Amino acid sequence: MSEPVLSVRGLRTTFSTDAGVLPAVDGVDLELHAGETLCVVGESGCGKSVTALSILRLLPEPPASIEAGEVIFDGCNLLELSNAELRKIRGSRIAMVFQEPMTSLNPVFSVGSQIDEALKIHTDLTRQGRRERVEELLTLVGIPAPAERYRDYPHQLSGGMRQRVMIAMALSCEPAVLIADEPTTALDVTIQAQILELLASLQERFHMAVLLITHDLGVVAETANRVAVLYAGRVVETGTVYEIFGAPRHPYTVGLMKAMPGRSVGHRAPLHVIPGVVPDLRDRPEGCSFRERCPRADAVCAEMDPELEAWGAESAVACHHPYVDERPAGEGG
């Protein structure tokens, strides 16, 4: 496999709260390859958004603090760049789309000018050139009559249209990596499917790598090449979409799959149906953090925290007793 365009290693991001230090992300490893879609899944609060925001250092510090790890993009560690150097990458090489289209745009500026702002920062285009480019982008994301929509303010557009604007903004400088944090969760089911389709077609067109965060296993099944499963601030399993759905190894992943009712987009899989609750991250118990909920847990699990270990070329799992019986022969390691 090719060199990853973006790799996250040992990322640890904490929040200082009144009740102590909360390690929301505690040793996350991810690799994103050119042109692929990596879906990050996991229960609410497992650290998906914090991981995504840490990559571009978009969390307010304090209370957040990125304590360890590296984010390698284009040969440099984003976590060590100066703010000015990082700003050159934000929005131009790595762009982001957020969950809340209703609040993610500035209410007092026209949508056109907000897309224009990114071009103004990252390109040498003239005013006229930028104007044309913005209209082109609006057309590209499926917004009709772009010249008129340019002057519209966010409140004049529907949620789906605003998310298209966000996507146009993110794509304006043709980034190598697009991070989309639950881009469709706030939208109607039919609009969700349209937006996902749009993202897929644009990904192909721009040869982007997409890091897609989602709750929805239906979305994963439709869009992912590879999947990373997060639990309590850690990656517990990664693999191709076929492995994750066809032969999940980590008991948590297995639980997620069992809990999934259907696999088409829009069938929201409620991820809370695995019995038990996530342990308090402020006071992480010894051993595996899933063991209270795990049917395979034993004495070893209570003592030793499992490391994420490579399993074959493309997958990895962090578990002392992974499901291996179901694996086809010759792939284990």
Ligand X SMILES: Nc1ncnc2c1ncn2[C@@H]1O[C@H](COP(=O)(O)OP(=O)(O)OP(=O)(O)O)[C@@H](O)[C@H]1O
Q: How far is the CB of 249 from ligand SF4 (least distance, A)?
A: 9
Residue 47 as a binder of ligand X (CB under 6 A): the answer is: yes
272 exposure class (CB count in 10 Å sphere: 0-12, 13-18, 19+): exposed
Q: Are 305 and 288 in contact (CB under 8 A)?
A: yes
Measured from the CB atom, the residue of 93 and 291 that comes closer to another protein is 93
Q: Which of 191, 184, 172 is nearest to 94 (CA)?
A: 172
Measured between alpha carbons, how far is residue 102 from residues 2, 27, 44, 114 in Å?
38, 32, 20, 14
Q: Is 88 in the site for another protein (CB under 8 A)?
A: yes
Please choose, out of 38-46, 71-79, 110-118, 302-310, the segment that lies near ligand X by the rule CB under 6 A: 38-46
Which is nearer to Mg ion, 41 or 196 (by Cβ)? Answer: 41
Counting contacts by CB under 6 A, is residue 138 touching ligand SF4?
no
Please confirm whether the linkage preceding 62 is cis (ω < 30° from 0): yes
Q: Is 143 in the site for another protein (CB under 8 A)?
A: no
- For ligand X, which is the closer residue by CB, 176 or 274? 274
* Radius of gyration of the chain measured on its C-alpha atoms: 20
Q: How far apart are CA 117 and CA 110, in angstroms?
A: 11
**98 scored as a contact of ligand X (CB under 6 A):** no
Q: Which of 17, 156, 158, 264 binds ligand X (CB under 6 A)?
A: 17
Q: Give DSSP secondary structure letters for 185-220.
A: TTS-HHHHHHHHHHHHHHHHHHT-EEEEE-S-HHHH
| Minimum distance, C-beta of residue 215 to ligand X, in the bound complex (Å) | 6
Q: Read off the DSSP letter of residue 17.
A: E
Span of 93-101, 256-264, 277-285, 295-303 interacting with another protein by CB under 8 A: 93-101
We find the least distance from the C-beta atom of residue 271 to ligand SF4, in angstroms, to be: 16
Query: Segment 204-243, which members bind ligand X (CB under 6 A)?
Result: 215
- Output 48 or 291, the one with its CB closest to ligand X: 48
> Two tokens at 211?
């890091």
Q: How many of the other CB atoms lie within 10 Å of CB of 176?
A: 21
- For residue 41, which amino acid is it? V
List all residues 6 or more positions away from 237 whose beta carbon is below 8 Å from its beta carbon: 228, 229, 244, 248, 249, 250, 252, 253, 315, 316, 317, 318, 319
Nearest distance from residue 91's CB to another protein, in Å?
4
Return the residue of 39, 41, 49, 319 that touches ligand X, per CB under 6 A.
Answer: 49
User: How long is the chain?
Assistant: 333
Q: Which one, 290 or 311, has the nearer CB to ligand SF4?
A: 290
Query: According to the binding rule CB under 6 A, does residue 230 interact with ligand SF4?
Result: no
By the 10 Å C-beta count (0-12 exposed, 13-18 middle, 19+ buried), 206 is classed as middle
Task: Determine if 90 is a binding residue for ligand X (CB under 6 A).
Answer: no
Query: Of 6-14, 204-212, 268-276, 314-322, which segment contacts ligand SF4 by CB under 6 A?
Result: 314-322
> Among residue numbers 35 through 94, which ones bind Mg ion (CB under 5 A)?
49
Amino acid at 218: G
Which range of residues in 72-80, 100-108, 186-194, 286-294 is near ligand SF4 by CB under 6 A? 286-294
Q: Give least dist CB 255 to ligand SF4, A.
A: 10
Residues that bind ligand X in the complex, under the rule CB under 6 A: 15, 17, 22, 24, 42, 44-50, 63, 215
Provide the binding-site residues for ligand SF4, judged by CB under 6 A: 251, 288, 290-291, 294, 296-297, 301, 306, 319-321
